[in-house]
Chain A
């Protein structure tokens, strides 16, 4: 079974600064995806970024980028130029490509962007 751990329950960052959210996971699989989802106070879960395990290049999406360390089973999210709208719960998630569509989520990190 896979496990996903987010060690930072809460974080805060000043507007326009950079923040990194940590995520580690444990799996014996080789064919998998990793995701970061954002859940704002309105509660709609939104995909932020995803990483395919077989790709060594780190994924980037505008101000969001990941640091994927496969050997260390680490998948951190960096948010650059933080904006007030980035305030949300952030969840790291794992999907085994041989197990359908099931996502295993970490416990979440509550990020507060301060003006």
Chain B
């Protein structure tokens, strides 16, 4: 099976712009989670989608949003970008059908906000 893919891998934006990141989970996986990784705050959970519904949300402002499509692909959007949004954004997929299944991470999208 192909792994979790994320596009684009690198992105440079300026303050005030918005950005959309994409994640394609492993085939058959229905759960997609997003994490933000920064040197200062470490790895922080953004949100999780399962079967097109947001199942969990982390402590991030409303500028961060996401969605999941019927084919389980997910997008996250950040509006009105701030310098502090510069981070590695990781997506992870899981089959979601049992507590024993493993979560697999994608390579990440490196977002730089200037």
Q: Please, which residue of chain B has its CB at the minimum distance from the CB of A47? A: B102
Query: B43 contacts A100, CB within 8 Å?
Result: no
Tell me the complex Cα distance, A21–B38, Å: 21
Q: Which of B34-80 contact A (CB under 8 A)?
A: 35, 42-45, 48, 50, 55-56, 58
Number of residues of chain B lying within 8 A (CB) of chain A: 26
Interface size on A, residues (CB 8 A): 22
B31 at the interface (CB under 8 A from A): yes
The chain B residue sitting closest to A106, CB to CB, is B42
A101 pairs with B103, CB closer than 8 A: yes
CB of A67 to closest CB in B, whole Å:
21
Q: What is the minimal beta-carbon distance from B37 to any residue of chain A, in angstroms?
A: 9
Return B4 CB to nearest CB of chain A, in Å. Answer: 9
Contact in complex: B56, A102 (CB < 8 Å): yes
B residues bordering A, Cβ < 8 Å? 31, 33, 35, 42-45, 48, 50, 55-56, 58, 88, 90, 92, 94, 96, 99-100, 102-108
Beyond A45-B92, A91-B43, A101-B56, 20 extra complex contacts between A and B, CB < 8 Å: A37-B105, A43-B88, A44-B105, A44-B108, A45-B105, A50-B102, A52-B100, A97-B99, A100-B55, A100-B56, A101-B31, A101-B103, A102-B58, A103-B35, A103-B43, A103-B45, A103-B92, A104-B45, A105-B35, A105-B44
